[in-house]
């Protein structure tokens, strides 16, 4: 069924369709309408779930961690400082291997205060052991939330579904609401292997030693390092699992099919722009206009950021002469984290034999700074006409007024 709704409502519909059983959240702009919608669904009995109006984001994730350990499908959502306030719990949820899903409605972080969009909040949680998916429009929000539950439960790793504050959360767009029956066919009920249960007592997240240790029967059990090694292994495996889930979703719903990189006019492109979130769709206009001018350009939207689908990304980009990375986040003192990841993916792929594309890093849109299509066109055109073949390493800033 088609509807015209906001991105936050699209997310809420995804959570409802996925049958989340326990939801806990704390209000923060621009996530607030999402959790308001969920509490409305639950209070009006349109949705059968427990809504727990906690007193902080730290507690929101505590509720989800505990509910998930007890065997329930759990969901939360936040933005910016709310996400940062959860930080300890974010690591905890991944270490405990809980299949939570959290929407991160991307917003810049303080100080100074900003309520507007960039990606610093979720990017700063990159190394917590969560899967991170970025979406470009409302259809992808609702679909990705549903896919995220399936992926999280398949690999026992929590998933963040990241979408741009205001640009997606508060804008209205038409999208198709998947029907409940098809979703039920796609996503079976959550049945964890282990759960808190007085009939099967077990101690969860116990202090774990540096070395392996025998249990009372003499069987060896993992030490901390084995537990963490398995998280890394399963994260890497999650790349293929996400691919399989995407295929299955496409079979049922007839949409999607590009779980890692969503490419637009990249096949013969000499220069490829790369970005995440709604900016990737804005860049499609840039690509069309520059194609009209005769430049062979394309745009690749990174959809899965962690685990990083390095091979798929390198395959998309390796034939290009230049790659232009547009990022709304920084690893202060170096460059944009996505840019560094892309460079390392290209480095590994070329293995010293082939010539690698030059990579041009750009920072833009921090704290909601307007991203003008004209500025993007100029930036891409400049790269296309540049004669030097050295890898440029100076960070370009777009829209900076200093």
Please tell me whether residue 55 binds other proteins under the rule CB under 8 A: yes
Q: Which two tokens stand for residue 270?
A: 């000499």
Q: How far is the CB of 202 from other proteins (least distance, A)?
A: 6
Question: Of the two residues 76 and 263, which places its CB atom closer to other proteins in the complex?
Answer: 76
Q: Are 183 and 18 in contact (CB under 8 A)?
A: yes
**Pattern of binders to other proteins over 81-100, x per CB under 8 A?**
-------xx--x--------
Please tell me whether residue 221 binds other proteins under the rule CB under 8 A: yes
Please tell me whether residue 56 binds other proteins under the rule CB under 8 A: yes
Please tell me whether residue 268 binds other proteins under the rule CB under 8 A: no
Distance of CA 361 to the CA centre of its chain: 21
**Pattern of binders to other proteins over 13-52, x per CB under 8 A?**
--------xx-x------------------------xx-x
Question: Of the two residues 98 and 300, which places its CB atom closer to other proteins in the complex?
Answer: 98
Alpha-carbon gap, residue 50 to 198, rounded angstroms: 21
Question: Of the two residues 82 and 336, which places its CB atom closer to other proteins in the complex?
Answer: 82
Please tell me whether residue 188 binds other proteins under the rule CB under 8 A: no
Please tell me whether residue 218 binds other proteins under the rule CB under 8 A: no
Among the listed residues 346, 347, 359, the one whose alpha carbon sits nearest the alpha carbon of residue 392:
359
Please tell me whether residue 63 binds other proteins under the rule CB under 8 A: yes
Q: Strand pairing of 261-264 and 297-302?
A: antiparallel
Q: Which two tokens stand for residue 28?
A: 């923060």
Alpha-carbon gap, residue 212 to 215, rounded angstroms: 10
Alpha-carbon gap, residue 10 to 6, rounded angstroms: 6
Question: Of the two residues 223 and 399, which places its CB atom closer to other proteins in the complex?
Answer: 223
Task: Report which secondary-structure segment, H or E, holds 105.
Answer: strand 101-106
The full DSSP string for 266-291 is -TT-SEEEEE-TTHHHHHHHHHHHHH
Residues lying near other proteins in the complex (CB under 8 A) are found at 21-22, 24, 49-50, 52-56, 58-60, 62-72, 74, 88-89, 92, 196-198, 200-209, 213, 215-216, 221-222
């Amino acid at each position: 069924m088609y509807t015209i709704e906001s991105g936050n409502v699209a997310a809420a519909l995804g959570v409802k369709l996925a049958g989340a059983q326990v939801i806990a959240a704390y209000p923060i702009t621009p996530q607030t309408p999402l959790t308001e919608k969920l509490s409305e669904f639950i209070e009006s009995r349109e949705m059968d779930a427990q809504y727990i109006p906690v007193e902080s984001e730290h507690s929101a994730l505590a509720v989800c961690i505990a509910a998930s350990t007890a065997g329930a499908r759990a969901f939360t959502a936040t933005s910016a400082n709310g996400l940062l306030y959860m930080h300890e719990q974010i690591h905890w949820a991944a270490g405990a291997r809980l299949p939570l899903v959290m929407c991160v409605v991307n917003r810049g972080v303080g100080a100074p205060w900003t309520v507007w969009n960039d990606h610093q909040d979720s990017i700063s949680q990159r190394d917590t052991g969560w899967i991170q998916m970025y979406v470009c429009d409302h259809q992808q929000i609702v679909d990705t939330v549903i896919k995220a539950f399936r992926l999280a439960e398949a690999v026992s790793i929590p998933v963040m579904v990241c979408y741009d504050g205001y640009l997606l959360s508060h804008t209205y767009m038409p999208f198709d609401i998947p029907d409940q029956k098809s979703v039920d066919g796609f996503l079976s009920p959550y049945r964890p292997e282990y759960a808190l249960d007085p009939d099967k007592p077990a101690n969860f997240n116990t202090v774990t030693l540096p070395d392996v240790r025998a249990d009372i029967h003499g069987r060896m059990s993992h030490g901390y390092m084995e537990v963490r090694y398995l998280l890394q292994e399963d994260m890497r495996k999650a790349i293929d699992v996400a691919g399989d889930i995407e295929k299955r979703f496409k079979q049922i719903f007839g949409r999607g099919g590009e779980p890692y990189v969503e490419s637009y006019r990249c096949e013969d492109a000499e220069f490829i722009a790369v970005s995440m979130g709604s900016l990737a769709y804005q860049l499609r206009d840039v690509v069309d206009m520059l194609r009209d001018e005769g430049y062979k350009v394309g745009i690749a939207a990174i959809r899965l950021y962690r685990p990083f689908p390095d091979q798929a990304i390198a395959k998309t980009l390796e034939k290009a002469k230049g790659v232009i990375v547009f990022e709304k986040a920084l690893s202060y003192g170096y460059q944009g984290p996505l840019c560094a990841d892309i460079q390392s993916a290209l480095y590994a792929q070329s293995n010293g034999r082939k010539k690698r594309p030059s990579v041009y890093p750009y920072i833009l849109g921090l704290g909601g700074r307007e991203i003008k299509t004209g500025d993007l066109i100029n930036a891409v055109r400049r790269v296309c006409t540049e004669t030097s073949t050295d890898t440029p390493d100076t960070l370009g800033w777009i829209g900076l007024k200093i």
